[in-house]
Structure 1
Amino acid sequence: MVYGVTGSGKSTLAQELAERTGLPPVAVDELTWRPGWVPVPGDEQRKIISEICAGESWILDHGYGKWLDIVNERVELIIGLDYPRWLSLSRLVRRTIGNVLLRTPTCNGNTETVATAVADDSIVRWHFRSFARKRQRLREWAADPQGPPVLVFSHPRQVERWLAAQRPGPVRG
């Protein structure tokens, strides 16, 4: 599982890992949002993620608190993107503006608009509401010797160096 704050590049890294390893990627936002930005109910999300995690192999581009317990029972490696707020926020704002201007479809064909970008539940506001909690969770996992291995990266250059050092095939910590 690739884990990090909103805007840190989780989906991009997960896709890169999937291409390098041949493991199937799972775009989590596709599981949690229906067309029209309608949220998938929590119990349905848990059912879907349980089925995915019961599979032999997968790469998740995130873990939502509603079902992290399911993922953490099966995950073999957590790659943590613990980037500074200025970096993740600047990436997120740049991506959001681009998506609004270009009408780029995101999950399940949904598109961001000016209205969704400034709404109370916008992804940029979510960044501010969730940043500290996600960062703390990642650091707790990394400090827990009983949990799965956690690779924590504090800058994209660290990720690039780590990826360059990996041999073809399944990525291991």
Structure 2
Amino acid sequence: MSSIGRKIMIIGSPGSGKSTFSMKLSKITGIPLIHLDKEFWNNGWIETPRTEWVRKQKKLVSGDEWIVDGNYGGTIDIRLEKADTIIYFKLSRVVCLLSYFKRVITNLGKIRPDMPEGCPEKFDFEFMKYIWNFSNKPGQINIDKLEKNNKQVIVFKNRRQSKQYIIEILNGIN
């Protein structure tokens, strides 16, 4: 396995395990973690306006080291330009959808650690459709953009691969 960088972007379908993985990776490496959902959403599930969101992301990735968890395809180029490592979770839509159901059932009405105050977990049919269709359009756009750069790209096609990666980092094999 190649060594991991210090500016790491983690993308992939909702429900793929990005947030869980990024929390573990941050804890192991000591690299500060940024959850884009926590930065984008405001109390009551209010979106950050686009110009403010672009400005905020540029500031978030201006540091020497970071792990950024989240997609936000409309601003992916901001992170892609600064990242040295991209970790892409490319799991099946069924796995991602089942993970979403589990997450909702486990956290319904609660605020997850990767979300801001005032944004409790809720069941969202539109979000389910987004997860189901992620590999068709949003995910493909991400892949197209990744293929056009010369960054280190690590792809996980199942959770076993991401867990093994964490074990290898813990064991100092990189």
For the structure 1 residues 150 and 82, does the alpha-carbon distance in structure 2 shift closer, same or farther, using more than 3 Å as the test? same
Cα deviations by residue, 1:26-52 (Å, 9 ceiling, x for unpaired): 011011110011111111111111001
CA–CA distance in structure 2, aligned partners of residues 63 and 87 of structure 1: 18
Among residues 41, 47, 50, which one is paired with 1:42 in the alignment? 50
Compute the RMSD of aligned alpha carbons.
Answer: 2.1
Q: If each structure's helix is expressed as a fraction of its own residues, which one has the higher value?
A: 1
1:76 aligns to 2:84 (yes or no): yes
Q: Secondary structure at the match of 1:78?
A: strand
For the structure 1 residues 25 and 168, does the alpha-carbon distance in structure 2 shift closer, same or farther, using more than 3 Å as the test? farther
1:14 aligns to 2:22 (yes or no): yes
Q: Secondary structure at the match of 2:134?
A: helix
1:80-91 paired onto structure 2 within 5 Å:
80-91=88-99
* TM-score where L is the length of structure 1: 0.84
CA–CA distance in structure 1, aligned partners of residues 132 and 43 of structure 2: 25
Q: Which residue of 2 aligns with 1:104?
A: 110
Deviation at 1:165, TM superposition (A): 1.4
1:110-149 paired onto structure 2 within 5 Å:
110-113=119-122, 117-118=123-124, 121=126, 123-141=127-145, 143-144=147-148, 146-149=149-152
Q: Secondary structure at the match of 1:132?
A: coil
CA–CA distance in structure 2, aligned partners of residues 152 and 70 of structure 1: 20
Question: For this pair of structures, how many residues does the alignment match?
Answer: 163
Corresponding letter in the other structure for 2:13? V
Corresponding letter in the other structure for 2:160? R
Q: Tell me the percent identity.
A: 26
For the structure 1 residues 167 and 118, does the alpha-carbon distance in structure 2 shift closer, same or farther, using more than 3 Å as the test? closer
Cα deviations by residue, 1:31-88 (Å, 9 ceiling, x for unpaired): 1110011111111111111001111111001131121111111001011110011111
1:3 aligns to 2:11 (yes or no): yes
CA–CA distance in structure 1, aligned partners of residues 95 and 120 of structure 2: 23
Deviation at 1:128, TM superposition (A): 2.7
Q: Which residue of 1 aligns with 2:4?
A: none
Deviation at 1:168, TM superposition (A): 6.9
1:31 aligns to 2:39 (yes or no): yes
Q: Which residue of 1 aligns with 2:5?
A: none
Structure 2 residue runs of 5 or longer lacking an equivalent are 1-8
Structure 1 residue runs of 5 or longer lacking an equivalent are none
